[in-house]
Amino acid sequence: MDHYQQLDPDPGEVLDAECVVSEDVLVKAFALGPGAELEPHDHPDSTNVFHVVEGAVTVRQDGEEAVVEAPGVVHHDRGVPHGARNDTEAVAVFTASLCPMPG
């Protein structure tokens, strides 16, 4: 089921929904309105993979930035600071898969 299709953020707004929650993985969908930003953060005990499914996202990773368009995948190693920003005028959507499930 495409949980992200239910998310409709306003400009500057970040909305999220849990898609899969199990003992070993968490998958969340994030919808970023125009100009919205998911602030940089890290997951010391989990690998994180972004899958850009709609639009384009400026991905920040360990101080570097790159635009990733759908369909696109970005791998974040454990403990590496990462975030995302929508620099476009359209909604951008990506999923974030964390494995193992954060404690």
Instruction: Say if residue 85 is exposed, middle or buried (CB neighbours under 10 Å; 0-12, 13-18, 19+).
Output: buried
Total domains present in the chain: 1
Predicted confidence (pLDDT) at residue 1 exceeds the cutoff of 60: no
Residues 53-73 have a mean pLDDT of: 96
How many angstroms separate the CA atoms of 47 and 11, rounded?
Answer: 29
Asked if 94 contacts 28 with a C-beta cutoff of 8 angstroms, the reply is: no
Per residue in 21-40, pLDDT tens? 998 999 999 999 999 999 99
Tell me the whole-structure pTM to 2 decimals: 0.91
**CATH number of 34's domain:** 2.60.120.10
Range of the domain at 50: 3-99
What pLDDT score was predicted for residue 93? 96
Residue that has been written with the tokens 């759908």 in this structure: 70
